[in-house]
């Protein structure tokens, strides 16, 4: 049903203003049956959420988008407002043509994710949602099969992460390690070759590093600030670095991930 709204302070629009912690608590983000909400910002991201099978709770749109989505979702509340209202409600400074409020999908099991794929990205304490969104977009675009997150990593469905990933956080399967799960043991059990990305000179140059097409490969990425934990690097199969020039110590983790995921992806730099 389409509702015309003239007042940006209309209480029915409050959920579109909520921040990530209001949309989903920490326990919601760990829930295997699906709990809490997420916001898809932009008509492309809304489309990808629908294509991924996510359940819409409400939409905020311009007139054209409202008519379009109403034909697809006749029983969903669709709020329609002018540019000033939509700009004010989202707080983004731009009047997006469509914003969707969705139920969070169930969280995947780590073992199931490792079993079902062969190219996995691991984010350890990667708490910056912008970096995580960029990594997710690269992983999806370059054919990787899933993402495993440590307890301290950002949420792929956080507003900023989902915006930066252009909604691919809804199409790339992801799972979060539980407190009692060991990444090293899980990767070993499922036969993965773990590749720890590091700027340290002891790492093997990416230019000289290859993987077989039939190997299971997990690329391990740490936070921009601290990198991977010492224990994680110790247990990794290999340490790999991207050679730097001009006395630059390293790349942003999102940029570094794109290079490595391209080089070690399912159809590149393999034999």
Per-residue model confidence as pLDDT tens digits over 113-126: 999 999 999 999 99
Q: Residue 12 belongs to what domain range? A: 2-103
Count of domains forming the chain: 2
Report, as an integer, the average pLDDT of 91-107. 91
Question: Is the predicted pLDDT of residue 270 greater than 70, yes or no?
Answer: no
Question: Is the predicted pLDDT of residue 269 greater than 90, yes or no?
Answer: no
Please tell me whether residues 120 and 251 are part of one structural domain. Answer: yes
Write the CA distances from 159 to 19, 42, 117, 149, 227, integer angstroms: 8, 11, 27, 17, 24
What CATH number has the domain bearing residue 18?
3.30.1330.30
Render pLDDT for 168-219 as a digit per residue (tens, 0 to 9).
999 999 999 988 899 999 999 999 999 999 998 899 999 999 999 899 999 9
DSSP state of 223: B
Report, as an integer, the average pLDDT of 144-149. 97
Residue 151 pLDDT? 84
Report, as an integer, the average pLDDT of 65-89. 95
Assess if residue 201 is contained within a domain.
Answer: yes
Render pLDDT for 241-261 as a digit per residue (tens, 0 to 9).
999 998 898 899 999 999 999
Residue 265 pLDDT? 92
Please tell me whether residues 95 and 119 are part of one structural domain. Answer: no
Assess if residue 269 is contained within a domain.
Answer: no
Distance CA 54, CA 57 (A): 10
CA torsion, ordered 230, 232, 238, 241, to nearest 10 deg: -60
Residue 33 pLDDT? 53
Distance CA 267, CA 115 (A): 19
Residue 13 pLDDT? 96
Distance CA 155, CA 40 (A): 14
Distance CA 38, CA 167 (A): 12
Report the chain's mean pLDDT, rounded to a whole number.
Answer: 92
Rounded percentage of the chain residues whose pLDDT exceeds 70:
96
Asked which of 62, 77, 103 is the last residue of a domain, the reply is 103
Please tell me whether residues 150 and 257 are part of one structural domain. Answer: yes
Assess if residue 271 is contained within a domain.
Answer: no
Asked which of 60, 79, 103 is the last residue of a domain, the reply is 103
Question: Is the predicted pLDDT of residue 47 greater than 90, yes or no?
Answer: yes
Asked which of 60, 78, 103 is the last residue of a domain, the reply is 103
Closest CA to 122 of 184, 207, 168, 180: 184
Q: Which of 38-42, 92-96, 135-139, 241-245 has the lowest average pLDDT?
A: 92-96
Report, as an integer, the average pLDDT of 86-100. 91
- Look up tokens 């993402």; give the residue: 147
Please tell me whether residues 150 and 210 are part of one structural domain. Answer: yes
Please tell me whether residues 83 and 130 are part of one structural domain. Answer: no
Please tell me whether residues 185 and 143 are part of one structural domain. Answer: yes
């Amino acid at each position: 049903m389409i509702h015309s709204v003239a007042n940006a302070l209309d209480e029915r629009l409050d959920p579109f203003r909520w921040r990530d912690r209001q949309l989903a608590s920490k326990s919601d983000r760990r829930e295997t049956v699906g709990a809490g909400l997420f916001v898809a910002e932009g008509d492309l991201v809304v489309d990808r959420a629908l294509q991924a099978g996510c359940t819409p709770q409400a939409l905020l749109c311009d007139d054209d988008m409202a008519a379009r989505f109403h034909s697809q979702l006749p029983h969903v509340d669709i709020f329609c407002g002018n540019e000033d209202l939509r700009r004010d409600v989202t707080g983004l400074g731009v009047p997006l043509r469509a914003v969707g409020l969705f139920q969070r999908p169930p969280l995947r099991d780590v073992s199931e994710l490792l079993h079902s794929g062969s190219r996995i990205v691991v984010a350890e304490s990667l708490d910056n949602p912008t970096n995580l969104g960029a990594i997710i977009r690269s992983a999806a675009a370059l054919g990787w099969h899933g993402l495993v997150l440590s307890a301290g990593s950002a949420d792929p469905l956080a507003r900023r992460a989902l915006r930066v990933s252009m909604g691919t956080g809804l199409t790339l399967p992801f799972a979060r390690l539980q407190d009692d799960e060991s990444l090293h043991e899980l990767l070993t059990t499922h036969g993965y070759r773990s590749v720890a990305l590091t700027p340290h000179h002891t790492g093997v140059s990416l230019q000289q590093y290859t993987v077989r097409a039939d190997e299971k490969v997990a690329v391990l990425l740490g936070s921009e600030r601290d990198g991977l934990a010492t224990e994680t690097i110790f247990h990794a199969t290999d340490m790999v670095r991207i050679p730097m020039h001009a006395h630059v110590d390293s790349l942003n983790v999102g940029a570094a991930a794109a290079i490595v995921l391209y080089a070690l992806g399912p159809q590149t730099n393999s034999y």
